[in-house]
């Protein structure tokens, strides 16, 4: 990533980094990852066992959110 640059994950978008690294070679700081949500919608932690115990990261990867939904960032090893 370039100096002061950032990744923006807009509403309804997904960013999946699967066994990868986001870095730069210039040594300068970059702006990070900005995840846009929707303040009009309550966001629940779908990985809590009290909600839907069978949801997995794979389920999140297969979601097709709309532009009104929250953003999803999945970082996998």
Q: What single DSSP character describes residue 43?
A: -
pLDDT at 32: 87
Angle at 21 between CA 16 and CA 25, to 5 degrees: 135
Residue with tokens 């939904």: 69
* 58: helix, strand or coil: helix
pLDDT tens, residue order, the chain (77 aa): 888 889 998 887 888 888 888 888 788 888 888 888 777 766 665 555 555 556 677 777 777 777 767 677 777 77
């Amino acid at each position: 990533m370039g100096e002061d640059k950032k990744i923006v994950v807009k509403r309804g978008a997904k960013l999946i980094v699967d066994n990868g690294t986001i870095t730069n070679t210039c040594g300068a700081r970059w702006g990070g990852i900005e995840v846009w949500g929707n303040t009009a919608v309550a966001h629940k932690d779908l990985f809590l066992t009290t909600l839907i115990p069978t949801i997995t990261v794979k389920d999140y990867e297969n979601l097709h959110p709309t532009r009104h939904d929250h953003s999803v960032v999945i970082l996998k090893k």
